[in-house]
Amino acid sequence: MTRVLIGIALAAALGATASVASAQTLNTVKQRGNLNCGANGTLPGFGLPDAQGRWTGLDVDYCKAIAAAIFNDPNKVKFVPLTARDRFTALQSGDVDVLARNTTWTSSRDTSLGLNFTAINYFDGQGFLVRKALKVNSALELNDAAVCVQQGTTTELNLADYFRANKMKLKTVTFATSDEAVKAYDAGRCDAYTTDASGLAGERLRLANSNDHIMLPEIISKEPLGPVVRHGDDQWFDIAKWAHYAMVTAEELGITRANVDDHMKSENPDVKRLLGTEGKHGEALGLTNDWAVRIIKHVGNYGESFERNVGQGSNLKIARGLNGLWTKGGLQYAPPLR
């Protein structure tokens, strides 16, 4: 027994000495040679690997953007599929460098869980999916209904709040993963399935007969979804924020994957600052000055990513809506890059 323990102790001691050497996330990531990104793994449009293990989704693109900014290679990301339940501990324990898993920004998560929400890469709200045969037109008619929900989500809490606020009776059936919850709903265990509206659009496609199900018009909550990092590393926090804002800024300026090379010669000062031909904004972040160029070249701007993953270029066909640029009636707005 002791030999094993000595081994463990040695390993622990080695680890302890290693921890003194580096406390900065960016350095750790660079040394490791890849970014560890906590992703969903089961949600079409946000994070889902195909049978070959190729990941796609809006959140996946975000992680690829960070990897592109650091390594000039969007594939230097290791995606770690996380359930709603274990996502925060994975981030807290340093398992992942950034958590991009359609996570709702709430005050308690921001404070007592020791997390920092970076930006909002999708404005969402919670909705309900029901069978057409039920002939329900509003969530307010769901009194006494059984609702399937995933455990450990804000969804679970919003659902209870909504029913309590409207003095309706509720029967929740809680499952550890969204897969199980959807499957149980499909099997008739529940009258309704609830999650973020974007999720519903994706989950609906996974049902046996997706046309038998409709989404109710009510959106019962605000769900600002965004990537998350740990407390205590401001440089990494800045990188995580600006990776998103760079993509939004690129869309504001009309820079796309296809035309980014042409814009390199642009005289527009905003474009020059973004693409690093003027100023040292990349170096201020601890990156190279062409960091945004790398992001746009490899991943594209926010609009491209949106359309490709959840918009018209995808099966989900979700309209831009709240996620349109502020100039076009949406809420996506990047602070000025200067």
Partner 1 sequence: MTVIDTRGPDSGKPRVPLIYNPKVRGIAFQVLLCALIAFLVWEAVSNAADNLARAKVAAGFDFWNHTAGFDISQTLIEYSTASTYGRAFWVGLLNTLLVAGLGIVFATILGFIVGIARLSTNWLVSKVASVYVELIRNLPLLLQLLFWYNAVLKALPEMRDSLVIPGGGFLNNRGLFLPQPTFHHQALATLIAIGLGVALAIAFVVWAKRRQIRTGRQSPVFTVAMFFVVVLPGAVFALTGFPVEFMFPEKGRFNIRGGIEVLPEFMALLFGLVVYTAAFIAEVVRAGILSVSKGQTEAAYSLGLRPRPTLRLVIIPQAMRVIIPPLTNQYLNLTKNSSLAVAVGYPDLVQVFAGTVLNQTGQAVEVIVITMAVYLIISLVTSFLMNLYNRRVMLVER
Partner 2 sequence: MSDIATMTDANLAFVQRAPIAPMRPPLTEAGAIGWLRKNLFSSLFNVVLTLLCALLVVWIVPPMVKFLIVDAVWDGATRIDCLPSPQRPEVGACWAFVIERLGFFTYGFYPFEERWRVDLFFALLAVGIVWLAWLNAPARGLAAINFFVVVPILSYILLLGWPAIGLPRVETTQWGGVLVTIVVAWVGIVVSLPLGILLALGRRSRLPAVRLFSVIFIEFVRGVPLITVLFMASVMLPLFVPDTWSPDKLLRALVGVALFASAYMAEVVRAGLQAMPKGQYEAAMAVGLSYWQMMRLIILPQALKITIPNIVNSYVALFKDTTLVFIVGIFDFLRAIEAARIDPQWATPVTSTTGYAFAAIFYFICCYAMSRYARYVEARLAAGDRR
Instruction: Select from 213, 201, 57, 49 the least CA-distant residue to 124.
Output: 201
CA atoms within 13 A on the CB side of 335: 8
Q: Angle at Cα 114 formed by Cα 62 and Cα 126, nearest 5°? A: 55
Indicate which single residue of 73, 86, 278, 290 sits in contact with partner 2 (rule: CB under 8 A). 86
Q: What is the largest CA-CA distance in the chain?
A: 70
**133 near partner 2 (CB under 8 A):** no
Q: 243: how many CB neighbours lie within 10 A of its CB?
A: 29
Question: Of 30, 49, 257, 286, which lies in the binding site for partner 2, with binding defined by CB under 8 A?
Answer: 49
Q: How far is the CB of 95 from partner 2 (least distance, A)?
A: 6
Query: In the bound complex, what is the minimum distance in angstroms from residue 146's beta carbon to partner 2?
Result: 20
28 binds, among partner 1, partner 2, none (CB under 5 to 8 A by kind): partner 2
- Interface residues for partner 1 in 81-110 (CB under 8 A)? 84-85, 88-89, 92-94, 109
Residue 286: count of CB within 10 angstroms of its CB: 16
176 touches partner 2 by CB under 8 A = yes
Instruction: Give, to the nearest 10 degrees, the angle between helix 25-32 and helix 234-252.
Output: 80
Q: State the residue for tokens 């709903």.
A: 185
How big is the chain by its Cα radius of gyration, in Å?
22
User: For partner 1, which is the closer residue by CB, 94 or 313?
Assistant: 94
Nearest distance, CB of residue 29 and partner 2, angstroms: 11
Q: What is the DSSP letter of 146?
A: E
When CB distances are held under 5 to 8 angstroms depending on the partner's kind, the choice from partner 1, partner 2, none that residue 161 binds is partner 1
Q: Which residue has the tokens 């049978």?
A: 51
List the one residue from 29, 65, 69, 80 that touches partner 2 (CB under 8 A): 80
- If binding is defined by CB under 8 A, does position 21 make contact with partner 1? no
Decide if 42 contacts 48 (C-beta within 8 A).
Answer: yes
Coil, strand or helix: which one is 321?
A: helix
Q: Which is nearer to partner 1, 2 or 209 (CB)?
A: 2
Residues in the chain: 338
Helix, strand or coil, per DSSP, at residue 8: helix
Residue span binding partner 2 (CB under 8 A) among the ranges 76-84, 116-124, 287-295, 317-325: 76-84
- 3-class SS of residue 171: strand
C-beta of 53: minimal distance to partner 2 in Å? 3
**Closest CB to partner 2 among residues 157, 207:** 207
Binding-residue pattern over the window 170 to 209 for partner 1, x denoting contact by CB under 8 A: xxxxxxx---xx--x--xxx-x------------------
List phi, psi (to 5°) of 326: -60, -25
Q: Is 138 in the site for partner 1 (CB under 8 A)?
A: no
Please select the residue that binds partner 2; options are 73, 110, 141, 179, rule is CB under 8 A: 179
Query: Rounded to whole angstroms, how far apart are CA atoms 180 and 79?
Result: 22
Residues near partner 1, by CB under 8 A? 1-3, 5-6, 8-9, 12, 16, 84-85, 88-89, 92-94, 109, 112-114, 134, 142-146, 151-153, 156-157, 159-161, 163-164, 170-176, 180-181, 184, 187-189, 191, 230-232
